[in-house]
Structure 1
Amino acid sequence: MNYEEEEAVEEAMMRSLYEDTDVFPRDFGSANILTREEISGILKAHADEVVTATLKPIHISRSNVWTTAVRQFSRTSFAENLGTLYVTFASDEMDGDEDAADLGGPRREFFRLLVRAIFKDSGAFEETPNGFIPRMNIRHVQQKLYKMIGQMMATIIVQGGEPPAFLAPHVVDYIMTGDINQVHVTPDDLADASLRDSLKRIKGAGTQDELEKILECCEWRFDVEGLPNPVTMENKHTFVNTAALYNMILQRQSCLNQLIDGLSYYKVLPLLKDNPSMRIIILDMPTGLHLTPEVLAGLLKPSYSVLGSNRRPKEELIVVKFRAFLQSVQSKELDETFQERALTETEQDFLHNISLGHILAFVTGSSQVPATGFEPYPKMSFVHDDKHLPIAHTCSNELQLFINSKTLADGDFFEYSLLVALMNGGMFSAV
Structure 2
Amino acid sequence: MRGFRRVSYDPNLMICVKFSDDMGRNEEGVDLGGPRREFLRLLMETIARSPMFEGKENSKNFALDSTALREDWYYVAGKAIAVSLVHGGPPPNFLSPTVLCLLVSGSANPKLEDIADTKLLEKVKKVSESTTLEDLEKSHAPLLNYLANAGCLRPMRSIRDRDLLVQDIVMFQVIHRVQGPFQRFCEGLKTLGVLDQIRRHPDSFRPLFCYEPNILTADLVDDLFIIHLSPEGSNKRAAEEMVFTFWRDYLQDAEEDEGPSKLEKILAFATGASVVPPIGFSPTPSVQFIHKGDDGFSTVTALLAVCFEKGGVWFDIN
Q: CA deviation at 1:387?
A: 6.2
Residue type at the aligned position of 1:362: F
- Of residues 360-369 and 92-101 in structure 1, the stretch that sits farther from structure 2 once superposed is 92-101
Alpha-carbon distance between aligned partners in 1 of 2:285 and 2:217, rounded to the nearest angstrom: 16
Cα deviation code 1:224-273 (max 9, x no counterpart): 21466316432322221221110011111100000000000111101111
Q: Does 1:402 align with 2:309?
A: no
2:297 match: none
Cα distance between partner residues in 2 of 1:152 and 1:269: 12
**SS of equivalent residue, structure 2 residue 15:** strand
Distance 1:380 1:229 in 2: 70
Output the CA distance in 1 between the equivalents of 2:190 and 2:114.
26
Identity level (%): 26
Match of 1:218, SS state, is helix
User: Which of these residues, 144, 160, 183, is aligned with residue 257 of structure 1?
Assistant: 183
CA distance in 2, matches of 1:320, 1:82: 38
Larger Rg: 2
CA distance in 1, matches of 2:26, 2:164: 58
- Whichever residue aligns with residue 168 of structure 2, its letter is T
Q: Is the 8 A contact 1:389 1:401 kept in 2?
A: yes
Alpha carbons of structure 1 residues 212 and 306: separation in structure 2 relative to 1, 3 Å: farther
Q: For each residue in 1:80-128, what CA deviation from the matched residue of structure 2 results, as whole angstroms up to 9, or x when unmatched?
A: 4521111122x214443223111111111110111112222x4322233
Q: Distance in 1 between matches of 2:301 and 2:128?
A: 64
Separation in structure 1 between the aligned mates of residue 218 and residue 274 of structure 2, nearest angstrom: 13
1:75 equivalenced with 2:75 (yes/no): no
Q: 1:402 corresponds to which letter in structure 2?
A: F
Equivalent residues, number: 307
Select the residue among 200, 216, 221 that pairs with 2:147. Answer: 221
Unaligned 5+ segments in structure 1 are 1-69, 333-353, 407-431
The two structures have a TM-score, normalised by structure 2, of 0.84
Answer yes or no: is 1:368 the counterpart of 2:275.
Answer: yes
Alignment TM-score, normalising by the size of structure 1: 0.64
The one-letter code sitting in structure 1 at the alignment partner of 2:2 is R
**AA in 2 matched with 1:373:** G
| Cα distance between partner residues in 1 of 2:80 and 2:269 | 23
1:382-421 mapped onto 2 (5 Å cutoff): 382-385=289-292, 391-395=305-309, 401-404=314-317, 406=318
Structure 2 match to 1:277: 203
Partner of 2:266: 359
Name the CA distance, whole Å, in 2 between partners of 1:162 and 1:245: 30
For structure 2, the 5+ residue unaligned runs are 293-299
Which whole-Å CA distance do the structure 1 matches of 2:155 and 2:38 have between them?
53
Report the secondary structure of 1:216's partner residue: helix
Of 248-257 and 299-308, more deviation after overlay is shown by 299-308
- Residue aligning to 1:118: 47
Alignment of 1:139-218 (within 5 A): 139-178=67-106, 182-218=107-143
